[in-house]
Amino acid sequence: MKIALDAMGGDKAPLVNIIGAKDALALYPKIEKIFLVGDEETLKAECAKHQFKDTRVEIIHAPDVVEMHESGAKTLRSKKKSSIAVATELVKQGEADAVVSAGNTGAAVATATLKLRTLKGVERAGIASPMPNEHGVCNLLDAGANPEATAKHLVAYAFMGAIYSKHVMGVKSPVVGLMCNGEENEKGNSLTKETFALLKELEASGKCPFTFKGNVEGHDLFETKLDVALCDGFTGNIILKSCEATAKAMSKWLKLEFKRNPFRVLGAAMSRGVFKAVKQRSSYESYGGSPLLGVNGVCIIAHGGSSALAMQNAIRVAMETVEQSVNPHIEEALAALSE
């Protein structure tokens, strides 16, 4: 197994990318090689600084860097030798099995779609972002690749998400819900109403490799047995960031309150493990990466603010996704759809 890592992508690159790669190599013997893709001089110096010497590491030079605020699509032409472009090219050429990037999401999506192309039956790729759920993990799909999705795109996401849950996450009977402004059947906007009707029809004809739960709401993300929460990329990205922001605000307010008097400071000290455990449960660090489903190859998108642990876990997700060869299963499921 060979992984191409965009070593320049992310808010804390290349530091956390390199530490994450080092830790992943120590933990996962199945990884034969990690390509560190980025500015050669920078990466050599950073590796030396952290005593990262491993025969399984190869630095691949990529002189251009895509900044986080740049338009992803525009950089396809202007920065052909960017770390994300060169890393994705390694997958295209069959030299790597997967690409991992914590850089500009728009650039990663556009590059993967252009270089790897989409799978048969897929018009647009979607990001499946794992969220902590009482019954396992709920994949929010699409979390931001495709802000102008159609009902047909959402139906393909339902199939891809269910197959991913089944084959990579080991869920026997995946459940898919449609994110909506109410759980009643008649709720929604024109996009979700059309998607709802299509999925009900497909389910009735026995074509769905999942149970369709109908419309779902915020609380279902955490409390209901739900493997895929379906939405367009605009809505999904907003949900993801709003949940993350709420958790952060809650933590901040708790910390402020705990400092108000000595009793509380002591109480907090006695309960220190509590916050660590909740952070571990709720943080994206523990999940590490979101697969870009629908491209002909494995592309894992990591959070822009990724830590070394998040990078290590993103590499693990890449490894698992390659191992379970999810793409042939997706094509098979989508072929049944068009019969």
Q: Which residues bind a copy of itself (CB under 8 A)?
A: 69, 71, 132, 144, 147-148, 179-182, 184, 186-190, 192, 217-219, 221-223, 232-235, 237-251, 253-254, 257-258, 260, 263-264, 266-271, 273-275, 277-278, 281-282
For residue 296, is it left (φ>0), alpha (ψ between -120 and 50) or beta?
Answer: beta
Residue 203 CB, shortest distance to a copy of itself, in Å, is 22
Residue with tokens 């959402």: 154
CA–CA dist 303, 313 (Å, integer): 11
Residue 194 CB, shortest distance to a copy of itself, in Å, is 13
The burial of 233, by beta-carbon neighbours within 10 Å (0-12 exposed, 13-18 middle, 19 or more buried), is given as buried
Residue 219 CB, shortest distance to a copy of itself, in Å, is 4
Decide whether 111 or 327 has the Cβ nearer to a copy of itself: 111
Decide whether 211 or 251 has the Cβ nearer to a copy of itself: 251
Decide whether 17 or 282 has the Cβ nearer to a copy of itself: 282
Residue 6 CB, shortest distance to a copy of itself, in Å, is 19
Decide whether 111 or 296 has the Cβ nearer to a copy of itself: 111
Name 69's Cβ contacts closer than 8 Å, sequence gap at least 6: none
Instruction: Tell me which residue of 287, 183, 283 sits closest to 243, measured CA to CA.
Output: 283
Residue 15 CB, shortest distance to a copy of itself, in Å, is 23
Q: Beta strand pairing status for 2-6 and 175-179?
A: unpaired
Q: Beta strand pairing status for 228-230 and 136-141?
A: parallel
Residue 33 CB, shortest distance to a copy of itself, in Å, is 34
Residue 318 CB, shortest distance to a copy of itself, in Å, is 24
Decide whether 41 or 257 has the Cβ nearer to a copy of itself: 257
In contact, 288 and 317? CB cutoff 8 Å: yes
Instruction: Tell me which residue of 106, 90, 15 sits closest to 297, measured CA to CA.
Output: 90
Give the residue ranges of DSSP H helices in 93-150. Answer: 105-116
Q: Beta strand pairing status for 126-133 and 228-230?
A: unpaired
Decide whether 111 or 235 has the Cβ nearer to a copy of itself: 235
CA–CA dist 93, 95 (Å, integer): 6
Decide whether 278 or 309 has the Cβ nearer to a copy of itself: 278
The token pair at 216 is 């779902």
Residue 53 CB, shortest distance to a copy of itself, in Å, is 39
| DSSP H/E element including 24 | helix 15-27
In contact, 300 and 318? CB cutoff 8 Å: yes
Decide whether 270 or 339 has the Cβ nearer to a copy of itself: 270
The token pair at 187 is 């709720």
